[in-house]
């Protein structure tokens, strides 16, 4: 059994989880935090807060995270009016080491796009061998072919606005592999050590579809704050995969951010909650320290199950002064 400060690791985990949950419940019950959620969600605030507490209590990894980062991620989702139930796939609160980050889901991107009232059609699909015959490198127009096998060769995103403007973005499987390797530390670690902890490893197609859709909207979609809902989309893309500070500044925990410009849209590692996994467990780290509209004929992703496990124990109280977060 591993020890840290002369206490069993699992006992310390359990004690920290108990304190973090208690602090989170206290903050959520405070007048300041209640007002913040009521201001953005009105009558829906009660259900949202209940879902937040249920999520944390059911996810041992989140229980090891700083409660302030959990609340900040939750407030980001609440501001966009996106539910955080991982089974719905709109937004996630993702544990990464001792911090929690906001993560928008594939459905959340589409939801925000449709709220602008400017999209007539929006979709992303996997592309199988033979389905694309050629691409006009000037116009981006895709010449459709006929599928010859089930092998996935790329990913495509498409939208058409109500004013008639339409755009398509295609990325090959190799492009997506390079992107994931460059911008996800967890995926890079999986490849180096032969593990399967990143959702890029366990659900590559779903992550790829989200990535190609984000890139398309970042380059050509409605992002202007002058248009209804455009500011929410811009904020969602900026905040995706980030720990949100109390002043709203995003800090990216699993990747180095790309500039949010039409030429270089960002992407970060997917919600570990989507696959029920995260880059490194608290136990492993402590043990280490102790030892030292759809396109016809193209298919979308299958949802990955969310699973969590944990173990209990007892330990002396740890010093922890929560303070009250100020959003």
**What pLDDT sits at residue 137?**
85
Quick check: 7 and 14 in contact, CB under 8 A?
no
**What pLDDT sits at residue 18?**
92
Q: What pLDDT digit, counting tens, does each position of 175-196 carry? A: 999 999 988 888 888 889 998 8
Report CA-CA distances (Å) from 269 to 21, 188, 207, 248, 275.
26, 11, 8, 20, 12
pTM of the model: 0.67
**What pLDDT sits at residue 58?**
93
Is the sign of the CA dihedral 269, 272, 274, 277 positive or negative? positive
Q: DSSP letter string over 286-306?
A: HHHHHH--PPTT---PPPPP-
Quick check: 119 and 111 in contact, CB under 8 A?
no
CA end-to-end span of the chain: 40
Low pLDDT (below 70) residues in the chain: 1-7, 224-231, 241-327
**What pLDDT sits at residue 242?**
62
Best CA proximity match to 158, nearest among 125, 114, 203: 125
Domain layout of the chain by residue ranges: 3-291
State the pairing for strand pair 142-144/152-161.
Answer: unpaired
**What pLDDT sits at residue 64?**
93
Q: DSSP letter string over 121-182?
A: EEEEEEEETTSEEEE-TTT--EEE-----S-EEEEEEEEEETTS-EEEEEEEHHHHHHHHHH
Is the sign of the CA dihedral 50, 278, 305, 313 positive or negative? negative
**What pLDDT sits at residue 279?**
36
**What pLDDT sits at residue 312?**
34
Sequence-distant (≥ 6) Cβ neighbours of residue 158 within 8 angstroms:
121, 122, 123, 124, 166, 167, 168, 169, 216, 295
Quick check: 194 and 161 in contact, CB under 8 A?
no
């Amino acid at each position: 059994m591993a020890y840290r400060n002369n206490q069993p690791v699992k006992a310390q985990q359990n004690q920290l989880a108990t304190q973090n949950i208690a602090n989170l419940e206290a903050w959520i019950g405070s007048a300041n935090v209640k007002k913040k959620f009521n201001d953005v969600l009105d009558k829906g605030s009660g259900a949202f807060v209940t879902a937040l507490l249920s999520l944390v209590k059911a996810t041992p990894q989140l229980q090891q995270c700083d409660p302030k980062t959990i609340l900040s991620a939750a407030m980001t989702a609440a501001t966009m009016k996106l539910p955080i139930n991982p089974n719905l796939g709109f937004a996630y609160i993702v544990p990464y080491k001792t911090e929690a980050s906001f993560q928008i889901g594939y459905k959340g991107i589409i939801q925000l796009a449709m709220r602008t009232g400017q999209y007539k059609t929006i979709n992303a699909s996997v592309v199988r061998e033979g389905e694309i015959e050629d691409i006009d490198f000037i116009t981006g127009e895709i010449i459709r072919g006929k599928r010859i096998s089930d092998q996935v060769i790329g990913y495509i995103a498409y939208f058409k606005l109500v004013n008639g403007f339409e755009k398509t973005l295609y990325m090959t499987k190799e492009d997506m592999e390079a992107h994931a390797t460059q911008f996800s530390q967890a995926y890079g670690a999986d490849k180096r050590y032969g593990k399967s902890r990143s959702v890029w490893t366990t659900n590559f197609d779903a992550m790829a579809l989200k990535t190609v859709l984000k890139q398309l909207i970042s380059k050509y979609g409605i992002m202007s704050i002058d248009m209804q809902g455009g500011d929410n989309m811009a904020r969602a893309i900026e905040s995706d995969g980030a720990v949100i500070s109390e002043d709203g500044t995003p800090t990216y925990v699993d990747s180095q951010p790309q500039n949010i410009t039409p030429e270089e849209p960002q992407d970060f590692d997917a919600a570990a909650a989507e696959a029920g996994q995260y880059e490194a467990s608290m136990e492993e780290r402590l043990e280490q320290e102790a030892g030292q509209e759809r396109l016809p004929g193209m298919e979308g992703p299958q949802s990955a199950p969310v699973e969590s496990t944990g173990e209990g124990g007892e330990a002396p109280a740890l010093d922890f002064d929560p303070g009250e977060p100020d959003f």
